[in-house]
Structures are given as structure tokens and as C-alpha cells.
Structure 1
């Protein structure tokens, strides 16, 4: 038991009182990561890796992009030239005792690796659209690393596509962004806001960036959950990616790139976790149900209880529910319950002597700790219904908490007050880059500067004569502001 009252097995910090320390404890003691000798690099344990694999293949994203005729491929980790972006590139200068003639850089993103290949593949309009994706790792030397949220090495998918027309490229940006929304909202049960990044915050070299923005109420910080970039024709010019348009003319392609990362796991943990540990949405949990035997010490029916647990797991597995039984004799039932609560398993089924006699099982929900007795005859149907209800309840609760943190402001004074209260702020803005730079300068401090997060695609009405909260000039749009990871 932790030092603070009500904490889960082994936790010493509460989510409300010490959020950053709580988060680190939960991802370690919830068996998501192990720290590595290189700061900012983490070992992803099976409990975390399974979530990534479920989102990747088993349930959703890879299936959906294949429907869009996106082909998976793989490009090298190493570059022969420094990438032209605003990220620090890690270089390799030696191989054993030998100094390399030319230092080799490690990718932070793959535009400069993939687009020379695009220029070879694209010759005529018949070669388009060209749509590739890779699942891989990248390295970014973050100054303040944080597990999942800002790792120095992380996993992601990165899609790179080329089209003959602007209209096709624009349409794909939004199609991919909708898939990202569904990952967050339908699988991770985390609400997001779809919108457009400002010129100051967009992907360097791109035409514009669309984003799915999440928010963590306990820290008062936004998270750029996933991005879909329209690159326009900028990279096509740089790498000479052009095609014969069928009329004897050469034309530059229109390109997009899009990605989501293992950051998703960190956002999910921050939003749903509590003082008992992780809370996993059923759709992404590798183990949806844990069955725990609760025998009496002096009872003669222990073996019958264990058999009932095994039979329950078999029935659930056959129905497509990911379930296991914890029949380890070396740990008490109480310890097992705390252990699986720490790991965030959505539903716990307990079977004891009374349950055996009544042909029932005790179900305990991880999201709200409610309990109910289920007839064994209805077990599969009721467990399925409970898992669906848990998934929806997690999303609804997260959305309520997120919405309670959104504050609409109209003046700088209101903005400053809302920022001090760790709000996600919606404010009228003149959409000028120098104004955003001024906001960042004026709010710079120990907590980090505030910046624009996105201008939502679903814009509230902007009354005529509305002024920008920061400059006093005529406002042209509503934009979310706040601090971010």
C-alpha cells in the first residue's frame, strides 16, 4: 500500500497531488515500460506493446488504410544527409574503431529518405496516386524526455502520399484525420478536437497541418495527438517529383504525410488512470477480463473453484473476449485484485464458495469499482455488455472532464486568468503569426509558454466586430490556446 491513503499497490503519489510523479510510477508499476540506461529511451513491455499492436493491426488502423489502397513498406533508418527540419538529428560518426568518411544521421522523420524514391517511381499520371506507409521507429533528442509523451526513440506509423491534384490531397488529409479521431475516441476513449495548426505551429515545409488535439485535465496541458499534413508541392519541387499529365505537360505532384505514435498510450494513461493505477479501455486492453479464484482457507472446494475459473475463461475466450485466470497459489486473492487493478484490466470476475454454490460470479468494474453478481448462464452476454458500457463510460467521463476545462475568453485579462487555472482556452484571434509569437513571449515562464493549439474545423459563430483577445485587431477565427507537452 502506498504512503498516501487510498493509493493502489505500490503507489506513493496521487494523481491530483503529484501528477508527474504519479504518471511515472503508474507506467512503471503498471508494467508498461522499464527504464533504460540511455535517458529518454524506454523498454516497451508486452503490456504496452500489445496496445500498440491492437491499434495497428488487430482492430483498426492498418486495416482501414489498406482499404484506401495504402501499401506498407519500409525505408532505412539511416540518412546520408542531414534532414532539413527544425529537429536536432543524431549522427553516427564511427563504426568500431573506424571513422566514417561521411557522418550518417538517424531519421527523425523520413521525407528526405522517401521522396528521392518517389521521384523515381512517378513518371506519368498512371503512377498516381502513390500511397505508402511504414511502421517504424524514429529518434528525436528531446531535451526533457517523458515516457511515451516525449521519448527520444519512439514507434510510429508514417504515411507518405502523392496525388495528381490538390483536391485529392486535401480530401485525404481529412480522411486520415478522421481515422486518428476514431483511434482516440473509439478505441482509447479520449476526446479530441480536430482542427488546423497555425502557420507558426505547422509542419516545417508543409502547406498546412491538420491535428487531433487531446487535453489532460490534471496537468492542464494539451497533447498533439496525431497530425495529417498537406505538403502542397514544396517537397515535389525540392525532389523533382513530377509526372506527365497525359497532355504532354509536366506537372508537380501534390503530397501529404501523416503520423500517429506511441504517444497515444501515454495520453490514454494520463486521461484514464487513477490512484489505483492504470485504467484500460476494453477495446485496447490485451486482457479484458481477469478471473480470480477466492477460495476459503479451510474449504474443500478449492479445486472446484479453480475448475470453475478455467471453465469461465474458456467460455469467454470462445466468445472472442480476451480473458485469463490468475490461479497462482503463491499470492492471496486480495493481492491479485490489487495487482490487476494496478494493471488496469477493465473487468475482474471473482469466484468463491458462495458463487460456486449459487452458480454465479462476482463482477468488479475497473472504471467505477461497481460490483454485481452474474448468473453463469448469462455470463458471456453480460460481460460483453459490461465491456461495452465501460468503454463508453470512460469516454463520457473523459469528455466531461475535458469540457469542464475549456474556457471561452475575449480579452487578454480573461486569457491570463484562465491560463493560470490550467484551462484549455478558446479565444477569438486575428490569425497573425507575430501576434502568436507575442503571446508566447508574454506567457513564457516556469510552466512553459502558451501557444495556439488549433483552430477547430467546427467554428462557433464569430459576431461581427469581435476583436482578437491578444492584439485588439479584428478577429477572423476562433482558436484554442494553452500550454502543451
Structure 2
């Protein structure tokens, strides 16, 4: 009988993928539940990933001449009512503020008081309130294009919350742009999808399928919604970002008009686009293993951890000083490195960093210090990558090692995605494929299948949705699968 290696995470991915995900979040110390149902505390280990996403995405957003601003959290109900079609998609998720103070209930407690004349909706998204400001700021064709972005929190009352995937409150950025023509707006929606792809591919090492959402899956009020659909290791899709061509839906609803060169008055054409902390959930489910989190190096706050192996307390100071000098050399190369001089056994520290996904672990004992060497292990490959090299060699090549790790992790995920897309030509094949629990992945079919009631029934029976109409197939195919 083959002996199974013990894993740090229980259950494993194959045993119970949803519970494995929760345990990885816990083991990596990324987030925890709060006193508010559906709202989570994102701990420093988790928030550091979001900070890197923010930094990388914000730089690219500004490269597109978009400027950051901030708009109110509370949106007047009247603004929401202007766009009935838009809010219909969020109505059941809206949290509403109806009172503006608290007073004693006479029993030692508090109760709401001061009922508002008009309730406020806690923003589920900001098209309406930003549209109101745009209407004041846009008067002439010279005011266009107007490109705005805000980093904010959003509230959508989630009935079945899951950390980093479906939460009542989450963090995101939402961009809102206005243009003089329909062509400019559509080009912008596609361009911002490309910007998202850059971050997902080049920072998070997440491959995906770029395409357009079907009419039923489109953002409420949009004329087109573009998406980047990633595949998790369990074969389910996760919508990693969206970019919407809103046509004139919101410009007409909020009277965003401009005077053209000929003196005529026209409504602007607008777009909106967003990426949220769901991407952290995607990162976990795309890359991690049964020992915990695996972080692509460019998404890691700490790319290299140096762990001193201290056998004799008399050696502690000089060994830690030596290890710290290695950290300084790595930092000079632009590597985010730290010395783990915390209390505890070196072996325990190693497992902590394995579970937290630290990309490279460096071990240095007295022998390595005397030899001028170190031993390092890559988190992406694991123990098979462990090797001892001269310190100078490692320092000089560390950036290349991290780049190699990024590329390896991306290719591993890309290969799984490519191998998990199955071309299906009949409804019988579609049903047979998803009826077999061993099959994990996406079906690719002719887009015309979506209009057939038989296809619709199969999708309903197996909880399938059309994920997107891929650009690469020029509108002829649709990707169908289960999703988060």
C-alpha cells in the first residue's frame, strides 16, 4: 500500500474543495469572520495582497489618463429610482439607511430614531451618484473625455457569504468614463479590459478567457459587458473583472450632455469598469495546494524570507547579523526580503511560510555562514527545488528566479485551463459531460445553442451559465460552465 504524504491543509482539494479554500485562508492568516454577517476582517497578510493589486492597477489606470476621485457612500433613493433597469439587478442586495440617529429605548438599550425624509442606499455600485456629478462637470465637447476612478468599499447584502468570493462588503475600484462618441466609449471599455488582463496575467499569474457577456449576463443598463473569466482548480469559473459599455443609458438618465463644435446639444456615451477583492479568492484557488497558499512572487509582500538555523544560542547574534546582511543585499536588487528572527524553531517557521505562500525560503546555519553559502527552496515547486548555492550567486540571480517562478505558475494554470475546455457539438454531449462528476472544466459550443430551450434546461439542471463569448472565436462560440 502506497503511503500518502501528510498535508498541512485538511481536507485536501480533492476531498472537499470549498472547505479546503476556507482552511487555506485560515492557515495563511488572510482573513477572519466579523460580528457582522457577510462582512470579513481582511488581516494584514490578506490586505498586503490587495495593496499590491492596488499599486499595480492604479499605475496602469493613471497611464490611461484616468484620475482618482471619491464619491459618497450614501446614495439618495431618488437617484437609484432614475435607473429602474439598472437597479433591478441589485434591488434585492441593497442595504438601506432609513434613520439618522439613535435614542434610548427606556430599557437600557438603543433604538433608531429620526426617520429620514428620503432613505439612502449604501452604494452597491456608483453609476448613479457619479453620473449626477458628471452632469455638472460636462458642458462642452472640450470637457470630454472625462475619466474618473475611485477606490472604495461596496455593500451588496449577500445571503450566502464566502470570504473573498461573495461578501456583503468588499473593496474594489470602479472607473467611470464619459466620451463624445459611441466608438470612443466602446474602445475604452475594451481597453480597460486589456488593463485588467495585464494585472491578472503579469502580477497575479492568472490566465483567463477574454470575451463578451451574453445579453442575459450583461451588467444591468449596459449595451455590452466584457469579462476575463478565470478557471479555478475545481473547474469552476470566476469572473475576475468586468468592463461595461453603457451606451447612453446613464447619460440620458442623469442628463450628461455636452455642446458639440457646431453648437448642438448631445448626450455623452459612458463606460464603467471594476475589479475587486474577489481577485484574492481567484489567486488562492488558481495557485494554492494542499500545503497552503502559493503566492506568485509579484503579488507577495515578502518575496524571500531568510530563516537562521540556530543550534547554539551563543551563535544567535552573529548568525542573525549575517542573515540580515543577506536581506540587505537582496533588497539592493529590488527584492522584497525579510529576516525571520522571531522566537520558535526553524522547522516551525518553515511550515508557517509554506502555509502563507512565501515564494522563496532561504535557510542559513553556521556552516552556510562559514562557507558563504545558503540553501533555498521555491514554494511553487516545493522540496524538489531545494539547493545550496553561494550567497553571491543567489543574490545575483534572485530576480531571475522570481521571474521564472511567475512564468512557471502562469503556465501551470494556463495548461490546466487549456486542457479543461472541451468542444461539444450536441446537447446530449453537453448533458453527458456535466453529468459525470469526474469532468471539471468548461464546455465550448456554438453560440446559437443559447437560444434553444433544450440547452437552457440542461444549464438550469446542472447550475451552468454562459461565461462569455470569447473574442478569439470571433463571436461564434460560447463558454459554458459552473461558476462562483
In structure 1, distance between residues paired with 2:331 and 2:220: 47
Structure 1 counterpart of 2:94: 89
Structure 2 counterpart of 1:308: 322
1:408, 1:427 within 8 Å by CA — same for their partners in 2? Answer: yes
Name which of 68, 72, 76 aligns with 1:72.
68
Q: Which runs of 5+ in 2 are unaligned?
A: 81-86, 104-112
In structure 2, distance between residues paired with 1:442 and 1:480: 14
1:483 aligns with 2:479: no
Q: CA deviation at 1:7?
A: 1.5
For residues 230-253 of structure 1, the C-alpha deviation after alignment (integer angstroms, 9 at most, x for no partner) is 001111111111111111211111
Q: SS at 2:334's partner residue?
A: coil
In structure 2, distance between residues paired with 1:28 and 1:299: 33
In structure 2, distance between residues paired with 1:321 and 1:126: 45
In structure 1, distance between residues paired with 2:412 and 2:379: 14
In structure 1, distance between residues paired with 2:133 and 2:306: 52
In structure 1, distance between residues paired with 2:434 and 2:198: 29
My pick for the range that moved more, 127-136 or 93-102, is 93-102
For residues 149-182 of structure 1, the C-alpha deviation after alignment (integer angstroms, 9 at most, x for no partner) is 1111000000000000112111111111011111
1:267 aligns with 2:282: yes
1:14 aligns with 2:12: yes
For residues 10-29 of structure 1, the C-alpha deviation after alignment (integer angstroms, 9 at most, x for no partner) is x3211221111111111122
CA-atom RMSD in angstroms:
1.7
Aligned length: 456
Q: SS at 1:31's partner residue?
A: coil
Structure 1 counterpart of 2:28: 30
1:454, 1:480 within 8 Å by CA — same for their partners in 2? Answer: yes
Structure 2 counterpart of 1:347: 360
Bigger helix fraction: 2
Q: SS at 1:283's partner residue?
A: helix
Name which of 244, 248, 251 aligns with 1:236.
251
Q: CA deviation at 1:374?
A: 1.9
In structure 2, distance between residues paired with 1:64 and 1:153: 25
**Cα 1:265–1:41, aligned 2, differ >3 Å: closer, same or farther?**
same
Alignment of 1:4-403 (within 5 A): 5-8=5-8, 11-57=9-55, 60-81=56-77, 83=80, 84-87=87-90, 88-94=93-99, 95-97=101-103, 98=113, 99-218=115-234, 220-296=235-311, 298=312, 301-328=315-342, 330-369=343-382, 370-403=385-418
In structure 2, distance between residues paired with 1:176 and 1:103: 34
Q: CA deviation at 1:443?
A: 3.4
In structure 2, distance between residues paired with 1:221 and 1:228: 21
My pick for the range that moved more, 78-87 or 180-189, is 78-87
The normalised TM-score by structure 2 is 0.91
My pick for the range that moved more, 85-94 or 197-206, is 85-94
The normalised TM-score by structure 1 is 0.91
